Amino acid sequence: MKILVLNSGSSSLKFQLFDMPSEKVLTKGLVERIGEKQGNFKAGNAIIEKPIANHHEAMQLITNYLLDRKNQLIQSKDEIKIIGHRVVHGGNRFVQPVVISEEVKDKIKELFPLAPLHNPANLTGIETAEKIFPNAIQIGIFDTAFHQSIPIENHKYAIPEKFYKQGIRKYGFHGISHKYVSEQALKKDKNNKKIITLHLGNGASATAVVNGKSFDTSMGFGPMNGLIMGTRSGDIDQSIIFYLAEQKNYPLSEIKNILNKKSGMTALAGNNDLRDIEQRAKHDDIQAQTALKMYANAIKKYIGDFTAKMNGLDALIFTAGIGENSTIIRKLTTVNMDFLGIVIDEEKNQNPNEFDGEIQASDSKIKIYVIPTNEELEIAKQAFELYQNNI
């Protein structure tokens, strides 16, 4: 069975086509800069550069590529039986994959304020796919679903009960990625019962996983708090918001924009591209060095927090763009952590692939892994399982 997986962003559309249940990737690609003067499409050997006005045009480019006879991917649109969609925020309503209906779409719309950078784009991807592939079953996979297992003492805020009853609680994000890499760690060693997964990209989060279930996570009601990110602040003193609004007369909309789009590494180093910041740090740029230390310290705080709550730690996982590729961040995050049994091997850290992703030193009590995430495969697996069991 052929399953198309879509990961729709505000100006991008990633896709992968899988043959299930073999999990074979038939093709994958990316449409970027949707709505800008010059967009681009990349898949296999195909590269198209031209204005791409909206997601419908992007989806049409993907469809044309899949139907192109020389690619030998599909003969007709009806060969794609299922389209799996990543949806960032599912609130407390969606705890499992669901078949997309009008009711589901309405609920996704209701959650726009909680994930304003993501849910609108996710819904656009769903509606576009419905038009172009009307006979395919559309299935939503929610980033928040994995975190529904977090116990009440870890997901409830110390605010009046009426707000909790209204759904204000910790939801967590990047759940598809955290689930995938934690399962890979269990496959490597069945004794990895207490795990901390670090999804480090432009968005970043840490999750404590106990016996395969999310136990706590750094992101909360929305995807802005927790770790320092590319443009998001991570944890800050709430008093800052009130001060900016009441004493400095910033409108709430501007404060929200600052914390979402003008903070994090962008604020600390003037740039959210970690590769550039790392290069500057190597050349004794104090601003860049400080930004990297702060980034790593924010991660360390959660490692300590989660290790204490789990009463131990078996494995630490680095994943996503920064986690998988930044030798410096992995080093800064694990340095001076030997008290917790975390000791990195410098040589292995330089070349994780040569050591099957294991980068801990011989005297480290904790396994340290670099595991590439594969959210698209996880989406395909969950969508296929739902189809098998319920459709």
Phi and psi torsions of 193, nearest 5°: -85, -35
DSSP for residue 141: E
Which of 1, 41, 42, 58 has the alpha carbon at shortest distance from 24? 1
The HSE-up count of residue 79 (CA atoms within 13 Å, CB side) is 14
Q: How many Å apart are CA 230 and CA 109, to the nearest integer?
A: 26
Question: Which residue is catalytic, options 143, 216, 314, 345?
Answer: 143
Q: 16 and 5 in contact (C-beta within 8 Å)? A: yes
Q: How many Å apart are CA 229 and CA 224, to the nearest integer?
A: 9
| 345 flagged as catalytic | no
CA quadruple 283, 288, 293, 298: dihedral positive or negative? negative
Q: 263 and 255 in contact (C-beta within 8 Å)? A: no
Largest CA distance in the chain: 64
* CA 310 to the chain's CA centroid: 23
H/E element, 369: strand 367-370
Alpha helix positions (H), the chain: 55-67, 102-110, 119-132, 152-155, 161-165, 175-188, 239-246, 252-261, 264-269, 274-282, 286-310, 320-325, 327-334, 346-350, 375-390
Going from the C-alpha of 218 to that of each of 125, 170, 276, 303, 328, the distances in angstroms are: 27, 9, 26, 10, 22
By annotation, the residues acting in catalysis are: 143
